[in-house]
């Protein structure tokens, strides 16, 4: 692809860059194809905990020095952990690419995981866990995926458990890094006003640790039968999700699900927003969602409302589900959903960080860079017939599961 270069180094590390001449900055990410999905119940939460610990000091830098070395140049560092990836990234002005690269390389190779810092940071992450527990609109999504994927590591929350967070030792962190932060799981990805040859030079100069080969652990997945779940929590509102598993990134039909989701409940012009909130004034929050992994996604409808209105809201949701199953979506509505999807994607790509994220995920999932034009083409190809067929498949009787988070279990009407 134009302006994008991919190089696999002799040690198996992949370097991918996108040159953008008209900006004065860059986004640089060190990606590892490892996340909470690669954990067990015994070490659940360790990927996310390590993300924190990599910022807590190396053999030559304190935590403060890591931050100062980048922020003094007008840039910043950050990181995130998902169920399938961990990414450490920096942003800065073009003149400071090498320094940012060197600091990130130092972090991922030379962190010492000081036992005193482990103890302090475990308390910080436990506070983060409590924040999630106190945020019902976040917690319910963890509970929904735990319910859908029960019996699989994909169902475990990224943050882990308080018991595990209190138990992690220095040796546990080193062992996990050694086994999972491997050379063929390592991607160096950049977007902005940078030169590909410079990134290769920096990689050869600063990546000195002899990373081992991948452990070849396969990410298995067995979908078990699920049932409705009530989560008892002191809240003012009833939080409700109706959904199921569906196609992941590797399946072409995922794009169709994304269009369906936009028609149903993404955006203020969507069917559910108009029906439930605007016409009936029931729920402040209502939206559909699609959360995707390589081989599977979760798809559903989320709302929060009071306990007296939840049955009415559920009734309205099912009315729209039946409508979209039986009546062909009009071309105007279909085109609006496609333009919404395409517009959001194109506007997000005005950020070098979002461009870097997109390139990395494409490379990790497909071992190639999917062009924007290819993605737009797939969206544009979705037809009204596709949406109707998909709706009847996804909303087939008995395939949807409800998760309700509330103070008391509401007497919800049964649904087919």
Same domain? 114 vs 161: yes
**H/E element, 177:** helix 170-180
134 in any annotated domain: yes
Same domain? 147 vs 280: no
Domain count, the chain: 2
216 in any annotated domain: no
Domain finish residue from 143, 173, 206: 206
As a whole number, mean pLDDT of residues 81-103 equals: 98
Same domain? 134 vs 272: no
- pLDDT value at residue 264: 97
Same domain? 200 vs 284: no
Its pTM stands at: 0.94
Question: What CA–CA distance (Å, rounded) separates 198 from 193?
Answer: 11
- pLDDT value at residue 209: 75
51 in any annotated domain: yes
Same domain? 202 vs 233: no
Question: What CA–CA distance (Å, rounded) separates 184 from 249?
Answer: 21
Same domain? 154 vs 246: no
42 is catalytic: no
Same domain? 173 vs 320: no
Which residue of the set 8, 39, 42, 51 is catalytic?
51
| Residue 366 structural domain | 229-406
212 in any annotated domain: no
As a whole number, mean pLDDT of residues 183-203 equals: 96
Residue 322: closest CA among 383, 219, 397, 232 = 397
Same domain? 314 vs 362: yes
**H/E element, 230:** strand 229-232
Domain finish residue from 206, 241, 273: 206
Same domain? 193 vs 233: no
247 in any annotated domain: yes
- DSSP helix, strand, coil percent of the chain (3-state; round to 5): 45, 20, 35
Same domain? 68 vs 202: yes
Quick: pLDDT tens for 242-280. Answer: 999 999 999 999 999 999 999 999 989 999 999 999 999
Domain finish residue from 191, 206, 221: 206
pLDDT band at residue 397 using 50, 70 and 90 as cut-offs = confident
pLDDT band at residue 215 using 50, 70 and 90 as cut-offs = low
CATH code for the domain of 294 = 3.30.830.10
416 in any annotated domain: no
Same domain? 73 vs 175: yes
249 in any annotated domain: yes
Contact 56, 114 (CB under 8 A): yes
Q: Which residues does 374 contact at the CB level (< 8 Å), separation at least 6?
A: none
- pLDDT value at residue 217: 66
What three-state secondary structure class fits 341? helix
398 in any annotated domain: yes
Question: What CA–CA distance (Å, rounded) separates 349 from 256?
Answer: 21
- pLDDT value at residue 220: 82
Same domain? 70 vs 196: yes
């Amino acid at each position: 692809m134009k302006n994008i270069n991919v190089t696999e180094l002799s040690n198996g590390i992949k370097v991918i860059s996108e040159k953008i001449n008209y900006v004065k900055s860059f986004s640089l990410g060190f990606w590892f194809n490892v996340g909470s999905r690669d954990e067990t119940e015994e070490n659940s939460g360790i990927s996310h905990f390590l993300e924190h610990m990599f910022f807590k000091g190396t053999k030559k830098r304190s935590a403060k020095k890591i931050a100062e070395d980048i922020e003094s140049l007008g840039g910043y560092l950050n990181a995130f952990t998902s169920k399938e990836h961990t990414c450490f990234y920096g942003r800065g002005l073009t003149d400071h690419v090498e320094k940012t690269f060197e600091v990130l390389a130092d972090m991922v190779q030379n962190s010492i995981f000081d036992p005193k810092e482990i103890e302090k940071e475990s308390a910080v992450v436990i506070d983060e866990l409590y924040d999630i527990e106190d945020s019902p609109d976040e917690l319910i999504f963890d509970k929904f995926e735990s319910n859908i994927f029960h019996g699989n590591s994909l169902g475990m929350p990224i943050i882990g458990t308080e018991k595990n967070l209190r138990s992690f030792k220095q040796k546990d962190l080193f062992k996990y890094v050694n086994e999972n932060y491997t050379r063929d799981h390592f991607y160096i990805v950049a977007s902005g006003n940078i030169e590909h040859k410079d990134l290769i030079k920096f990689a050869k100069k600063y990546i000195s640790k002899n990373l081992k080969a991948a452990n070849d652990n396969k990410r298995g997945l067995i979908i078990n039968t699920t049932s409705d779940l009530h989560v008892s929590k002191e809240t003012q509102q009833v939080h409700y999700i109706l959904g199921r598993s569906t196609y992941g990134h590797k399946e072409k039909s995922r794009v169709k699900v994304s269009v369906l989701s936009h028609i149903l409940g993404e955006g203020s012009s969507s069917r559910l927003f108009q029906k439930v909130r605007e016409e009936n004034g029931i729920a402040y929050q209502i939206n559909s969602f699609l959360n995707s992994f390589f081989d599977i996604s979760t798809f559903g409808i989320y709302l929060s409302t009071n306990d007296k209105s939840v049955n009415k809201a559920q009734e309205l949701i099912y009315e729209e589900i039946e409508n979209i199953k039986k009546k062909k979506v009009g071309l105007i509505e279909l085109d609006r959903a496609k333009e919404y999807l395409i517009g959001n994607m194109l506007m997000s790509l005005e950020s070098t960080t979002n461009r870097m994220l997109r390139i990395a995920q494409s490379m990790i999932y497909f071992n190639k860079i999917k062009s924007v034009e290819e993605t737009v083409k797939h969206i544009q190809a979705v037809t009204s017939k596709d949406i109707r067929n998909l709706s009847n498949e996804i909303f087939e009787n008995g395939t949807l599961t409800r998760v309700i988070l509330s103070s008391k279990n509401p007497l919800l009407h049964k649904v087919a």
